[in-house]
Structure 1
């Protein structure tokens, strides 16, 4: 015979509402009262000052925004000097008030201003007539801080070593894909460049990095630059340095450039 007390408890439990039984199964969560210092409010994670600077973008993505430095707009080469003799103006040719053309043998050109971290827009094209192949077809280069080369080359139906074709960090990082247009068309580079950092001792702290969109397609995705982009030898960072010029290479090809602008980052 079961005890009367146990039977009464069992009967009481069975008479409880099912909603109450379900409620007792939920985990207990402690919610701080509104007056508690632990309570979060939306404004606690809002940053209002300083206000984000407003600039005016170009009417097209390829046009310079209001805070950019225009390095070449087809009118003159006032922002550039000769690399052979920095006291002399750039010796390249301006064509149709539109683009500049490398004058083979005249030497490279470089900006009068120096830059470190930057956003650079530049458009380029190989000569309309294909006269050679490999590294001799529309070859030039864009050097950041006058040291680290992003390759310019007519890689349209033109086989060469992968870390030397258009969109490569020369002899270092090959592009993710080849999206070079034909010599009758213009190519665009939109580049985000982060300069290397050095310790007070002169040792490398962080290498240079680069992101490149070639004709709107990512070909370098925050890629590490291993050092000086040398033609022969392993790349490294032998010396600490600060901001320096942007330079364009004379590689004995009549490569063409237009619509160049830059933003300091």
Structure 2
């Protein structure tokens, strides 16, 4: 739901823009990769190109495509310089895409001093502090042999993709702190490192510059550096948010509490409160108050820097589902006496807005009411979060509640394939008749047995089953622990009258017949399709680096042309090495022999890669491999 508020304060001017029910983000700054102007003068090894191609089967055989948007390290000449940004930073949130050449080595150095390793770690079983996603070790020549390197931190798991595929890296970095004398008072810290959607480092303290840093001293700020003397790497989409050290604060909070059923925040504006109390956390903390209450929290909000801020408010007792006949609650936030945003019952308890604020201290008022509690939303806590210029997204005065200690219930595939039936979320939809298979080579996948759909693949650890097996199993979901690639979720096989017919979203002639277990412990799925009997299977190759997908079709009717949907994506490109890159090099498809697929566009502006099931008498077969 959208609302517009226009308001102004002449000296402490604030004006609110669109309010939405979902938290959005303030935009990141970008490093311009149309030229090298955002970087310090650099050697000839760094070049701006339109795209890069690295063949995962051959080392040192990369090539590039002319254009802009990608910076590559080309070591074919004599230059081996590092790449430094003109931008210097303290606390930083950084995002970028990277692509490794086969056997290559590089690194991202925060402040030019603290390295997150970039490496071709595809298929590594036990990652070390030299593998991709690691915080690289420090180095001291004076230490004994074998101990010169120290304090390295391997990634929690290896989720690296094949060379030649784009990977994603997110870093949340806290710079070291210094007092007025320039003495260090706190070490640098990597709050998070997220590779391909998986947190591989969290809250890691770094006591000093890591090995091969550009600077051996430590300072409050420094440039971002990409290592250029070790190996070829391509980088694109460099975005960042740089932060100061002064936060937004909310102080001097007081609560005026009211009792009764209300229909509006205006209903209690003139009432005498039943209780008044000081607060140090944002919550309706009146003893015994569970339902039928209202509150008004006042305080002072400190804004450290003028600019545009994002505010997010959540009253969790308001149900997400809409019942227009029942008003369970609402809320209203004011700053300096001006209304910033409201939450109505139909908003699902959430709202966010962007607002321009001047630096300074302003009175804040939050009014709200609650008429009844829901079984899934019993908490009377309130969430108010803020992000702004130089201010990281922060939840103000949050209530911290001790949760019942529950260890992660995980299912891992170490020595042999592991199967798990259960529920899986795919593109926001819960699938209830799925089987997930974990492979010892960390190439895992999920199939919907009810519909004959290939849902997802992932690299890394297998499943967390805590939501299934702990307590009542609230969501009943099994959650992949590795880096997930969601596939189309459409039927893998379908009958088509010709190769131009639209691919169906479901198969009316599909009947699931269960599955057998082969000698290796892997499932072989059985079903009928248009009168034909189908056996579908998956196997891993090259120690899990590839996942082979095969179909055998028996008693195929002569009048039925059965096709296989191999891949769907925004783009599908045939590469010089014969592979097909799917979705901007998210993964590769490898076809057997000289098989030529049908690549076509859909009405939804997608691309599809199709293979026919080639009949041999009454039987037929089709197969392909996924490389990622």
TM-score normalised by the chain length of structure 2: 0.28
Q: How many angstroms apart in 1 are the aligned matches of 2:136 and 2:173?
A: 15
Higher helix fraction: Structure 1 or Structure 2? 1
- Note the 1:85-234 alignment, pairs <5 A: 92-96=46-50, 97-104=68-75, 105-127=79-101, 130=102, 137-158=103-124, 162-171=128-137, 172-210=152-190, 211-230=192-211
Q: How many angstroms apart in 1 are the aligned matches of 2:13 and 2:206?
A: 33
- Note the 1:10-25 alignment, pairs <5 A: none
Counterpart for residue 227 of structure 2 = 249
Secondary structure of 1:193's aligned partner: strand
Q: How many angstroms apart in 2 are the aligned matches of 1:163 and 1:230?
A: 11
2:48, 2:72 within 8 Å by CA — same for their partners in 1?
yes
Higher RCO (C-alpha under 8 Å, 6+ residues apart): 1
Alpha-carbon spacing, 1:225–1:214, altered in 2? closer, same or farther (3 Å)? same
User: Aligned-pair distance for 1:239?
Assistant: 4.2
Q: How many angstroms apart in 2 are the aligned matches of 1:182 and 1:257?
A: 15
Q: How many angstroms apart in 2 are the aligned matches of 1:207 and 1:144?
A: 13
Q: Are residue 80 (structure 1) and residue 39 (structure 2) matched?
A: yes
Q: How many angstroms apart in 1 are the aligned matches of 2:233 and 2:17?
A: 36
1:203, 1:240 within 8 Å by CA — same for their partners in 2?
no
User: Aligned-pair distance for 1:147?
Assistant: 0.8
User: Aligned-pair distance for 1:52?
Assistant: 11
Counterpart for residue 18 of structure 1 = none
Please give the per-residue CA displacement for 1:118-156, whole angstroms capped at 9, x wherever unaligned: 1100111112xx3xxxxxx22111111111111111110
Please give the per-residue CA displacement for 1:156-206, whole angstroms capped at 9, x wherever unaligned: 025787111111111122111111011131111111110011233443211
Q: How many angstroms apart in 2 are the aligned matches of 1:82 and 1:187?
A: 27
Counterpart for residue 276 of structure 2 = none
Q: Which runs of 5+ in 1 are unaligned?
A: 1-48, 56-60, 85-89, 131-136
Secondary structure of 2:48's aligned partner: strand
Give the number of equivalent residue pairs.
192
Q: How many angstroms apart in 2 are the aligned matches of 1:101 and 1:152?
A: 14
Q: Which runs of 5+ in 2 are unaligned?
A: 1-11, 19-23, 51-67, 138-151, 244-628
Please give the per-residue CA displacement for 1:205-224, whole angstroms capped at 9, x wherever unaligned: 11111111100000011211
Q: How many angstroms apart in 2 are the aligned matches of 1:107 and 1:101?
A: 12
User: Aligned-pair distance for 1:91?
Assistant: 5.0
Alpha-carbon spacing, 1:204–1:247, altered in 2? closer, same or farther (3 Å)? same
Q: How many angstroms apart in 1 are the aligned matches of 2:15 and 2:129?
A: 39
Higher strand fraction: Structure 1 or Structure 2? 2
Q: How many angstroms apart in 1 are the aligned matches of 2:155 and 2:16?
A: 34
User: Aligned-pair distance for 1:231?
Assistant: 5.2
Q: How many angstroms apart in 1 are the aligned matches of 2:92 and 2:136?
A: 19
Q: How many angstroms apart in 2 are the aligned matches of 1:144 and 1:175?
A: 17
1:173, 1:225 within 8 Å by CA — same for their partners in 2?
no
